[in-house]
Structure 1
Amino acid sequence: MSLFRRLTGRKAPRGLPPVLDPAQGDEELRRLRALADAGDWAALGPALAAVPDQSEQTWLLNRISDVEGTEEWLAKAVAERPDDSLVLLLSGARHIAWGWEARTGSLAKHVTQDQWQLFGERLEVAEEQLLEVAEREPGWVAPWYFLQLGALGASLGRTVATTRFDAAVRRDPGHLASHRARLQQLCAKWGGSHEEMHAFARTAMLGAPEGGPLGELVALAHLEHWLDLPDGEDHAYLTGPAVRASLREAALRSVLHPAYRPQRDWRATHNAFAMVLSLADERELAHAVFAALGDVVTASPWYYLGGDEAENFRAHRDRCAPR
């Protein structure tokens, strides 16, 4: 019996082509993104408001905020509904995503002055709107998550970032998205260090119940460390015995633990583990994770490899398949 079957009690799906899916295989999210694309707040607003779980609602808002062009109708909706905190929240989230669209994913030295200016202007609008939502709705975790992203982009510094992370986890201690944002803040590329980043990831994982999703932080931390190394050293790092042991522990404590129950954004977590386990030559565990995913590819972290994300997924899935 395969490892996947032993761990999940299910047969692995076979023969499915990998697909990069902005909706991450979630049909409700696909519907909500279509409503956002159509500018239909009359339908989108009540659907979002009806989501009882704040973590799920935050994830939906985040995934909707990258729908291009929504800033146009959101500006009108905010003006027409000045007391609607939810539309203001989505507008703030959209301004962060829109800001990064202006900045692009280029290295800082390749970003033009005009791009930096647009980036800053859009983040300023996001900051104002999200802080207003946080004041209006003190129990909501979502504005504090998006404010973390804004602080990172605007380089507001360690103190502000820490305050916003603490505010988020006071409202939802296991909030995965906020932990991901905090991990980025602690990366060397954002002024942190590998030591801080790894310590945060491991502490968060061990402080959470087994079978929870925070083991993903360990996988992401090793990927960030790998990205920071020159060719040759990167492969040696991920395939070293200590890192492989760390990754095995994280996978078996989280996504491959018998108590694991997928959250709404489980496919992003699985994609992260699938890639890092494959790169680390932990092929049996990687195969179990790939098998759970079927054909759904998330852009992150496969874009780190360059080229086509779905093709990167397919190549690694194939190399980890049993011979």
Structure 2
Amino acid sequence: MALLPSFIRPTRMAKRSARPTGLPPAGDETVLDAPDDRLSPALVAAARGEYAVAAGLLAATRAGAEWENRDRYARRLAAFARSRPEWYEEWRAAAPEDPGALLVGAQLAVDRAWPSPARAELLREVSPHITAAARADDRDPVPWRIALDHARGSRAGHRYFEELWEAAVRRAPHHYGCHVAALRYLAASWHGSHHACLDFADRAAQDAPAGSLVQALPARAAFGYLTDGCGPEVPRARLDAAADRAIGLSGHFPEADPWPAEVRNKLLYVLLRLDRREDARTQLRLIGPYATSFPWERFSDDPLGHFLRLREHLLTAGPRPLPAGLITAPGDPLGEHGGHVRADDH
């Protein structure tokens, strides 16, 4: 599918206490960016300086072609390695050809270059890391997702990006990470062309299976529109349709499940901006204790605290409007489309 017709935060957790069934968890039960039961042991071992559990986890995702899990785990392991690199350096030294080590290394190299003012230049120097990860397993779409992010950050042209995109979707036609990378590229390349982003997201979701995370892509495009404040107006019905599609996806997963937590947190924001309070409260119940940095880090340096304040207001304020600071970035006026979010955020 063509892009156009032509074209870590560490987990924060406090003690749990008993709560009546069906009610949202208390603030001291809520966690931020909680790892699932497979990733958690790998992070615990990495904190001890051991890499074998992480290597085994990524090997299992590769053997089972679990590309969504592989992508998510590689991101989290690279984020951990960025602040605690010793265990990763030992892994790379012991197994330099391990596809998992190469994948984490490619993600880590991009992550390290991204915050720099010289991002584009630095990213061009890390291309060999991505090439090595891609060559380690030709089936794996995750190095191609990293390559798509790399191309956006290095300001690659449309033709080159399309070549990467076609290679990525040949390997996994409905890989969510690759689709998010493409959506971000569209937003960065045609800033303000939210119709183009929604067109791409809608086509991708229509082609994807009902339980695929790609069903949440239109809501992510709607999030970009609602937080950007530029470009022509998008009809309300289209935004509602994007939210409805994500609601349908959310219903495919169990309540209080860490796997769809980011999708549900993002959907919660979209529903609040659309003033769909009851739908938002339903998503709060489904989110349970699993807050995520995205999207709340866009509006506060304390995403967990921001989520808790927003939840408290939503559950206790009745029909009263949400304070502007809960749904817009600090210092941004609450205009028709809200505060500004950088189109090139990593």
Query: Is the structural similarity TM-score above 0.5?
Result: yes
Partner of 2:68: 55
Partner of 2:99: 85
Partner of 1:3: none
Asked whether the 8 Å contact 2:201–2:217 carries over to 1, the reply is yes
Q: 1:66 is paired with a residue of what secondary structure? A: helix
C-alpha offsets along residues 50-93 of structure 1, whole Å, 9 cap, x if unaligned? Answer: 23212211211112111133445534543443332221111111
Partner of 1:99: 113
Aligned partners of 1:143, 1:163: CA distance in 2, in Å? Answer: 14
Q: 1:61 is paired with a residue of what secondary structure? A: helix
**CA pair 210-81 structure 1, distance change in 2 beyond 3 A:** closer
Matches within 5 A, 1:173-252: 173-187=173-187, 189-191=188-190, 193-229=193-229, 241-252=236-247
C-alpha offsets along residues 81-124 of structure 1, whole Å, 9 cap, x if unaligned? Answer: 33322211111111111222x42xxxxxxx4xxxx26x743x34
**CA pair 287-84 structure 1, distance change in 2 beyond 3 A:** same
Tell me the CA shift for residue 145 of structure 1. Answer: 1.3
Specify the code of the residue in structure 2 equivalent to 1:21: L
Partner of 2:274: 280
Partner of 1:5: none
Specify the code of the residue in structure 2 equivalent to 1:321: L
Task: Give the TM-score normalised by structure 2.
Answer: 0.74
Aligned partners of 1:214, 1:127: CA distance in 2, in Å? Answer: 27
Partner of 1:107: none
**CA pair 78-125 structure 1, distance change in 2 beyond 3 A:** farther
C-alpha offsets along residues 263-297 of structure 1, whole Å, 9 cap, x if unaligned? Answer: 97311111110111112111111111111111211
Aligned partners of 1:120, 1:72: CA distance in 2, in Å? Answer: 26
C-alpha offsets along residues 159-193 of structure 1, whole Å, 9 cap, x if unaligned? Answer: 22222222222212221111111110110x34452
C-alpha offsets along residues 36-61 of structure 1, whole Å, 9 cap, x if unaligned? Answer: 34442233212321232122112111
Asked whether the 8 Å contact 2:109–2:129 carries over to 1, the reply is no
Asked whether the 8 Å contact 1:278–1:320 carries over to 2, the reply is no
Asked whether the 8 Å contact 1:65–1:90 carries over to 2, the reply is yes
Please state if 1:311 is matched with 2:305. yes
Partner of 2:51: 41
**CA pair 199-176 structure 1, distance change in 2 beyond 3 A:** same
Aligned partners of 2:67, 2:211: CA distance in 1, in Å? Answer: 20
Specify the code of the residue in structure 1 equivalent to 2:153: G
Please state if 1:253 is matched with 2:248. yes
Asked whether the 8 Å contact 2:106–2:130 carries over to 1, the reply is yes
Asked whether the 8 Å contact 2:186–2:196 carries over to 1, the reply is yes
Specify the code of the residue in structure 2 equivalent to 1:222: A
Task: Calculate percent identity across the aligned residue pairs.
Answer: 22
C-alpha offsets along residues 116-136 of structure 1, whole Å, 9 cap, x if unaligned? Answer: 26x743x34542112122123
Q: 2:263 is paired with a residue of what secondary structure? A: helix
**CA pair 20-304 structure 1, distance change in 2 beyond 3 A:** farther
Partner of 1:165: 165
Larger helix proportion of the pair: 1
Aligned partners of 2:53, 2:248: CA distance in 1, in Å? Answer: 40
Aligned partners of 1:180, 1:148: CA distance in 2, in Å? Answer: 10
**CA pair 157-35 structure 1, distance change in 2 beyond 3 A:** farther
Tell me the CA shift for residue 197 of structure 1. Answer: 0.5
Q: 1:32 aligns with which of 42, 45, 54?
A: 42
Asked whether the 8 Å contact 1:12–1:292 carries over to 2, the reply is no
Specify the code of the residue in structure 2 equivalent to 1:29: L
Q: Could you list the runs of 5+ residues in structure 1 that have no partner in the other structure?
A: 1-10, 104-110
Specify the code of the residue in structure 2 equivalent to 1:276: V
Tell me the CA shift for residue 19 of structure 1. Answer: 3.9
Aligned partners of 2:35, 2:315: CA distance in 1, in Å? Answer: 22
Asked whether the 8 Å contact 2:253–2:260 carries over to 1, the reply is no
The number of residues matched between the two structures is 290
Tell me the CA shift for residue 245 of structure 1. Answer: 2.5
Aligned partners of 1:66, 1:310: CA distance in 2, in Å? Answer: 18
Moved over 4 A (4+): 70-73, 259-264
Specify the code of the residue in structure 2 equivalent to 1:242: A
Partner of 2:147: 147
Specify the code of the residue in structure 2 equivalent to 1:57: R
Specify the code of the residue in structure 1 equivalent to 2:73: L
